[in-house]
Amino acid sequence: MSRTPASRRPGPAGGSGPTPYRKPVPIFWWLRRRAYLVFVLRELSGVFIAWFVVFLLLMAGAIAEGSDAYEQFRDWSGQWSVVLLNVIALLFVLLHTLTWFGLAPRAMAVRLRGRRVRPGPIVATHYLLWALLTAAVAWLILKG
Does 121 help bind other proteins (rule: CB under 8 A)?
A: no
Binding pattern to other proteins, positions 67-106, x when CB under 8 A? x--xx--x--xx---xx--xx-xx--xx-xx--xx-x-xx
CB contact at 8 A, 92 and 44: yes
Q: What is the 3-state secondary structure (H, E, C) of 53-85?
A: HHHHHHHHHHHHHCHHHHHHHHHHHCCHHHHHH
Does 37 help bind other proteins (rule: CB under 8 A)?
A: no
- Please identify which residue in 35, 81, 112, 120 interacts with other proteins, judged by CB under 8 A: 35
Does 120 help bind other proteins (rule: CB under 8 A)?
A: no
31: DSSP letter: G
Identify the three-state secondary structure at position 19.
Answer: coil
Does 112 help bind other proteins (rule: CB under 8 A)?
A: no
In the bound state with other proteins, the residue whose beta carbon lies nearer, of 21 and 120, is 21
